[in-house]
Structure 1
Amino acid sequence: MRQLIAGMKISLDGRTEGPDRLADWVEAWSEDYGLTPRIDACILGGGMYPGYVAYWTSIQVDPSQPTLATGRPPSPGELAWAKAIGGLPHHVLTRELPEERLPGTQRLDGLAAVAALKRQAGRDIYLVGGGRTTASLIQAGLVDELRLLVYPLIAGPGTPLFDDTTQRRGLTLRQAEPRPDGRVLLVYGAG
């Protein structure tokens, strides 16, 4: 069975966004978890998908322009991810797909559809986010691995990753990798 791997960039206090609904501490939205070689599909929540499309499409169209989120030119990692997503199918948990979408985008209708996608032949699946979608899929027991890139920052008020968690879930630490800039990559298995 394919593995569903969530990757999230969070503050030390577990926030995915600040009070303004932005993670302004994240300097690049590249795939910094080491997943690209192992995946052949992505899952996103319907709330995050339109911004995801706008962000990555703008980099694909003109990689010399500043990004929408940071106001700086895309990082090398962002350029690599913008190229990689062109060949990846994207599955969106939503009732209705927006008009603006990446080629190969399909709608997923609920948790059973996510479970069915995991049973299909293929490589692993990257759960890009957003935070509510990630938390709900973890809660449903569908996430096999959680990769957290923790920034050395206490964000204070904002959106916690596990705000709607209703039950305790044990995880197994598989890897802890400090980065030179103070960030730490934590990789957890779902049990």
Structure 2
Amino acid sequence: MALLKIARMGHPVLRARAEPVRDPTDPEVRRLAADMLDTMLDAPGVGLAAPQVHRSVRMITLHVPADRSGGDTVSPTVLVNPEIEAVGDEMELGFEGCLSIPGLRGVVPRHARIRYRAIDLEGRPLEGEAQGFHARVIQHEFDHLDGILYIDRMPDLRFLAFNEEASHVAEALRALKEE
């Protein structure tokens, strides 16, 4: 497998709407998926969308360790042509980072629970529900397929910080919630 170059903020591929994958069983699609998984794990990241590796197709990979999901590990997964919908109205604020915006984190509102549908690499339908951090990862990566970066979803840029300063932002966010 190969490690792929990650597009960084400013590259036009990150702002374009990705095209559907025509045949998820195509060997090229399988190779891209394997390379994306290797790239994501090497980065290290918990999610990666095809546009982030300069491929404008609707495919995402994710892997959420138990210590980040609040429970069960989400094993490495590939979602081809995913669709998502909110389950309920509850929103949660949480920190997000992005392999395409290295060194920064921001506070982003996301749906607490989602339902997703996709196709796997065998061409079979795949569906499920996700909540908490798992739901956040899917929503973040899905946004990449529509040319949206997490900073576009931030309601307040005061809560954008370099990774090394994120603890100060967390303190400010806690104080704001207490008001």
TM over 0.5: no
Kindly indicate which of the two structures has a greater share of residues assigned to strand.
2
- For CA contacts below 8 A with separation 6 or more, give which structure has more relative contact order: 1
Structure richer in helix, relative to its length? 2
TM-score (norm 1): 0.29
TM-score normalised to structure 2 length: 0.31
